[in-house]
Amino acid sequence: MVFAVWLFLRYGVAVPALLLENLKAREAIKRSVVLTRNNLARVLLITFLMSMVAGTVASICQGPFFVALIVMTIKGHGAPPLWLTVPMNIAGGVGQALTGPLLMIGLVLLYYDIRVRKEGFDLQLMMSALDSRQVAPPRAGTDAMPAV
């Protein structure tokens, strides 16, 4: 279990690197190792918080069914009926589906944050925006200043 958590922490931003930098899988994994170095606690915190949110929402969705299940068990009906366990599992799946993307959103935001802190990615974007705006030279015979 500890090894699986360590793998997730180390390769947590491999998918954002793969998609946003157009890297191959092996390169994205290496890139994730470089980016998450000295940031494993941040990856762990984001993963923990997003998992807590997802679990809470799933529990809220399953809550009414779970209460009914407990009441039926206390009354001595034996094994839980299928008509109650199926909607409870569907409601939990809906809750997980609604909150599942939050983990990936958190990891993508962490990916951008790490790139800004380590590589000055925001400065690279600003410089590329400045390079793309070319100032047209003035035409011969006009005194007009070029538009900026």
Q: Catalogue the long-range contacts made by 79-82 (C-beta closer than 8 Å, 24 or more residues apart).
A: none
CB 55 within 8 A of CB 24: no
CB 18 within 8 A of CB 11: no
Higher pLDDT, 138 or 12: 12
- The secondary structure of 14-50, three-state, reads HHHHHHHCCCCHHHHHHHHHHHHCCCHHHHHHHHHHH
pLDDT per position as a tens digit, 20-33:
888 899 999 999 99
Amino acid letter, 76: G
Residue recorded with tokens 């998609």: 19
- pLDDT class for 66, splitting at 50, 70, 90? confident
pLDDT per position as a tens digit, 69-122:
888 888 877 777 788 889 998 998 898 899 989 989 999 999 988 888 887 766
- What are the extents of the domains in the chain? 2-121
pLDDT exceeds cutoff 60 at 143: no
* Average model confidence (pLDDT) across the chain: 83
Give the residue from 121, 33, 25 showing the smallest Cα distance to 12: 33
Write down the pTM of the prediction. Answer: 0.69
